[in-house]
Structure 1
Amino acid sequence: MAVKKAQMMPTFAYEGVDRKGAKIKGELPARNMALAKVTLRKQGITIKTIREKRKNILEGLMKKKVTTLDITIFTRQLATMMKAGVPLVQGFEIVAEGLENPAMREVVLGIKGEVEGGNTFAGALRKYPLYFDNLFCSLVESGEQSGALETMLDRVAIYKEKSELLKQKIKKAMKYPIAVICVAVIVTIILMVKVVPVFESVFSSFGADLPAFTKLVVNMSTWMQQYWFILIIVIGAIIACFLEAKKRSKKFRDGLDHLALKLPIFGDLIYKAIIARYSRTLATTFAAGVPLIDALESTAGATNNVIYENAVMKIREDVATGQQLQFAMRVSNRFPSMAIQMVAIGEESGALDSMLDKVATHFENEVDNAVDGLTSMMEPLIMAVLGVLVGGLVIAMYLPIFQMGSVV
């Protein structure tokens, strides 16, 4: 139900006069007209006109979505404001004014309205579960209860920044080969549809039998020219089925998570990223004063992999029965010995959050190095594949000419 509220919150367009008598107009997201009026009056605005802004269908389709980067920027800016002594509500106003994404600005103003209406900051965040997960809300709630919200926000901002950086590194590793493969497919299609037919018309004038390889390429070219629309439909259907299965089937998503860890080159990179996320999340939550059992529950979802999500939840159960974290991690058989040893030192010395932070930093550096190494390795490999692909087509086209030359 909370998700629906966050998505359906209307926006009200208003005109009025501020405390200094200056005319002012703007937009304000609120749950209803009455709450919008209360919020504006608290800001010292005398309302002249106010109406609910009707949503345009085209505008809704083109509306920019709130991204994790938007959330990260919002957290860092708000943390900076609070550390500078700016009151929370005023901080919302300042941050909202500087946001480029209208959707994120609407979310921030909605949170501001909730806080002004008497809700806690954490309670206001929970109204937007699509953008602020339980981990984020729990950390803010811990900061509010301890009276150290600015410190906690700074800690959350650091966590979000490191998480975003890690995600960007993984994307960087994936983007290059995908982009080159797409280019290779496009080049191949152009050659098959535009270039091969020209050679085919030349070959037909020879009146001689074509080599088997050339025949294969010519037949493929002919098929693509005649049935290209079927090819597009099939590719589109495969992509649509994949996305739909991923969206609807938990079993399918779980299978993808299993497969991701077994990929020849990317599997190790994904594994290191998971360990880094696990360590960083657990370090942040535990340092914030969240009990270890609750921290493990929040950490499970942050791994973004069902295998490790289940493993962490099993670790949580073991810890709840009195077992040490290091032993529970060892029994799971999902964590590197280095991480387990660091956790053991942290538990024995009473500095678990510090040791987990070191583990996270280590594996984040490992991911960074792996991405650089992967990029360096993929470049010659992909160029070789492109060379074989394009070179094969060129050879197929020139084989008949070579054959005629040998006969002469």
Structure 2
Amino acid sequence: MPLFDYKGRSEDGLIVTGTQEATDFDALGAALMVSKITPLEIKQKSVVSVNFNLFEEKVTSLDVMLFSRQLYTLLKAGIPIMRALSGIQNSVGNAQLARVVGQLRVSLDSGRELSAAMAEHPKVFDGFYISMIRVGETTGNLDNIFLRLAQHIEFERFMRGQIKAALRYPMFVISAMAIAIVVINIMVIPQFEKVFASMNADLPFITKMLIAFSSFMRNYWFVLIAMMVGASWTFKSYIRSAEGRAKWDRVKMRIPIAGKIIFKGTMARFARSFALSTRSGLPILSALRLVSQTVENEYIAVKILSMSSGIERGETILRTATQTGVFNPLVLQMIAVGEESGSLDDLMQEIADMYQADVEYDVKTLGAQIEPILIIFLGVLVLILALGVFLPIWDMSSTMLKGA
């Protein structure tokens, strides 16, 4: 939508100016009147600039969560949505979100639905959010939808934080090991190489390998960097494809220790999203298809879509869930009970809570689980370095003792 500069007069007689997007002059004038600003001058803004700002404030999931909770509170109190949005626009701390809320008001004032207005801002409101708003508009239960969305976003933030925490410690240790290997090859091994060269000793194979790798790293470091950059680019290009992303998402869930945390976190998000969708009034087929687009794991998304395809063929939810091979027996039993009793949404909520508790426990015990693996890895690394450095010294000492 085009940008307009406007000048108007507020209720208390003060002159106010600003810039806002609108479909046309009339739409902006109507939006200003709703905001109790009498427009005096409106001019279309001509923008000739690069649409990139390094320091532009981003709308985070926390901002959207607070926005949803505020809207729930205001709508629950009986405040009309236009007044509610106006209050949020004037009080929100994020300038970018305030601009988006202003554009929502303009769209609503021109007669559009809230879900359609939000669809114009995909970087702020994802497909799942917009679909839930559309359900709320259809059922007349928009206030409760905003509350459930706020709770859903809070849960998503928690799960992402838990998974990042699970991966932070091993990544830090691996990075520290990589730095140590670089320092040893650049600064330590060359000193021993000079000593061995001065002695004209016949070096063991492991020592020759260490010296050769150290020499290659020092003399051809640019080749190593090019190889790492090329490998990184190739990997990122591969996982951008649907097939590559699905395979990588499956591999991530098989990583020792951290993989089970990623899997449980993904399943918790699926179960909670499914419960939210069905509670909001979506049919099961629509809920499964919608959740498959927001589960953030292509491998699990394919399994969820296979469930919807099976249900379309007349199969039970339990049978389709069993065929996916991703649910454990306890979860399958809960799905069976929920399907028979007609309380599948409540049981899916229980499944989400169960997986969430498992993730919390696994993250808390992550250090104890990964410590033995790191100790073994460090032990092997130290053993290789020790053998490579001290074997020649030991051989030379043995030779000198025999000669004496």
TM superposition score normalised by structure 2: 0.85
Which of the residues 339, 343, 351 maps onto 2:335?
343
C-alpha deviation, 1:305, in angstroms: 3.0
The question of whether the paired residues in 2 share the 8 Å contact of 1:17 and 1:24 is answered with: yes
Q: Does 1:381 align with 2:373?
A: yes
Which of the residues 222, 235, 240 maps onto 1:242?
235
The aligned counterpart of 1:313 is 305
The aligned counterpart of 1:256 is 248
Provide the C-alpha distance between the structure 1 equivalents of 2:169 and 2:53, rounded to a whole number of angstroms.
32
The question of whether the paired residues in 1 share the 8 Å contact of 2:119 and 2:125 is answered with: yes
The question of whether the paired residues in 2 share the 8 Å contact of 1:15 and 1:24 is answered with: yes
Provide the C-alpha distance between the structure 2 equivalents of 1:28 and 1:383, rounded to a whole number of angstroms.
59
Provide the C-alpha distance between the structure 2 equivalents of 1:274 and 1:323, rounded to a whole number of angstroms.
24
Which residues of 2 match residues 270-285 of structure 1 at below 5 A? 270-285=262-277
The aligned counterpart of 1:106 is 99
Q: Does 1:363 align with 2:355?
A: yes
Paired letter, 2:224:
L
Provide the C-alpha distance between the structure 2 equivalents of 1:185 and 1:33, rounded to a whole number of angstroms.
60
Which residues of 2 match residues 108-147 of structure 1 at below 5 A? 108-147=101-140
Partner SS for 1:24? strand
The aligned counterpart of 2:208 is 215
Which of the residues 15, 21, 34 maps onto 2:13?
21
Deviations for 1:21-58, whole angstroms, at most 9, x for unmatched residues?
Answer: 22434443445666445433432333457563747549
Paired letter, 1:357:
Q
Paired letter, 2:9:
V
Query: CA 1:239/1:351 → structure 2, altered by over 3 Å: closer, same or farther?
Result: same
Which residues of 2 match residues 136-215 of structure 1 at below 5 A? 136-215=129-208
Paired letter, 1:116:
D
Provide the C-alpha distance between the structure 1 equivalents of 2:340 and 2:11, rounded to a whole number of angstroms.
60
C-alpha deviation, 1:12, in angstroms: 4.8
C-alpha deviation, 1:127, in angstroms: 1.8
Q: Does 1:77 align with 2:70?
A: yes
Provide the C-alpha distance between the structure 1 equivalents of 2:23 and 2:395, rounded to a whole number of angstroms.
78
Provide the C-alpha distance between the structure 2 equivalents of 1:296 and 1:337, rounded to a whole number of angstroms.
20
The aligned counterpart of 2:84 is 91
Partner SS for 2:53? helix
Provide the C-alpha distance between the structure 1 equivalents of 2:81 and 2:90, rounded to a whole number of angstroms.
14
Unaligned 5+ residue runs, structure 2?
A: none
C-alpha deviation, 1:390, in angstroms: 5.0
Unaligned 5+ residue runs, structure 1?
A: 1-8
Partner SS for 2:36? coil
Paired letter, 2:167:
M
Query: CA 1:113/1:138 → structure 2, altered by over 3 Å: closer, same or farther?
Result: same
C-alpha deviation, 1:141, in angstroms: 1.9
Query: CA 1:397/1:51 → structure 2, altered by over 3 Å: closer, same or farther?
Result: farther
Which piece of structure 1 moves more, 166-175 or 76-85? Answer: 76-85
Provide the C-alpha distance between the structure 2 equivalents of 1:205 and 1:12, rounded to a whole number of angstroms.
79
Partner SS for 1:60? coil
Provide the C-alpha distance between the structure 2 equivalents of 1:230 and 1:62, rounded to a whole number of angstroms.
35
The aligned counterpart of 2:223 is 230
C-alpha deviation, 1:344, in angstroms: 2.4
Identity of aligned residues (%): 29
Which piece of structure 1 moves more, 355-364 or 256-265? Answer: 256-265
Which piece of structure 1 moves more, 265-274 or 215-224? Answer: 265-274
Deviations for 1:237-264, whole angstroms, at most 9, x for unmatched residues?
Answer: 11112112222x2221222233234334
C-alpha deviation, 1:114, in angstroms: 1.7
Paired letter, 2:135:
S
Partner SS for 1:262? coil
Provide the C-alpha distance between the structure 1 equivalents of 2:51 and 2:201, rounded to a whole number of angstroms.
59
Report the RMSD for the aligned CA atoms in angstroms.
3.0
Work out which of the two has the higher radius of gyration on C-alpha atoms and give 1 or 2.
2
C-alpha deviation, 1:287, in angstroms: 0.9
The aligned counterpart of 2:290 is 298
Paired letter, 1:389:
L
Query: CA 1:202/1:22 → structure 2, altered by over 3 Å: closer, same or farther?
Result: farther
The number of residue pairs the alignment matches comes to 399
Deviations for 1:267-314, whole angstroms, at most 9, x for unmatched residues?
Answer: 433332333222211211111111222222212223333343233223
Query: CA 1:78/1:188 → structure 2, altered by over 3 Å: closer, same or farther?
Result: farther
Which piece of structure 1 moves more, 183-192 or 39-48? Answer: 39-48
